[in-house]
Amino acid sequence: MREFMNIAKALADDKRVRTLLALKAGELCVCQITALFGLAVSTVSKHLSILYQAGLVESRKEGRWIYFRLPGKEAPAMVRGAIAWVEGTVGASPEAAEDARRLKKLLKIDPTELCKRQCRS
């Protein structure tokens, strides 16, 4: 029951759902997610923490940067089902399409440079 409640809580926010959809494109740095949604780093970190606690994302650290990705096939069935449900129900929404368009542009920018820019602002 606890796993289900953590997943339900994680999916109860549009930015977290949109983050999951963005991660379909592959692993993203926190700076890329921050730039995609125009949110403060602290806000994005909180959202990612909730997704992580629910098992909906995995992370790795490389130097100063933290990268997030969707979990692999080894993830629990409930997690895989929740991600598939999100993709199937809102993956083709106008918001997801717009996010994908913006993300495509962001992915052309070196993540290290993007992170440095955010640290200066």
Report the alpha-carbon distance of residue 7 to residue 55 in Å, rounded: 8
What are the structural domains, with CATH classification, of the chain? 2-116 (1.10.10.10)
Q: What are phi and psi of 68, to 5 degrees?
A: -120, 150
pLDDT in tens, 1-45: 889 999 999 999 999 999 999 999 999 999 999 999 999 999 999
pTM exceeds 0.85 for this model: yes
The per-residue pLDDT for 112 is 77
Please name the residue ranges forming H helices in the chain. 2-10, 14-22, 30-37, 41-53, 77-90, 94-106, 111-120
State the DSSP H helix or E strand holding residue 105, giving kind and residue range, or none if neither.
helix 94-106
pLDDT at 111: 80
pLDDT tens, 60-113? 998 888 999 999 999 999 999 999 999 999 999 999 999 999 999 999 988 877
Q: So what's the pLDDT on residue 120?
A: 61
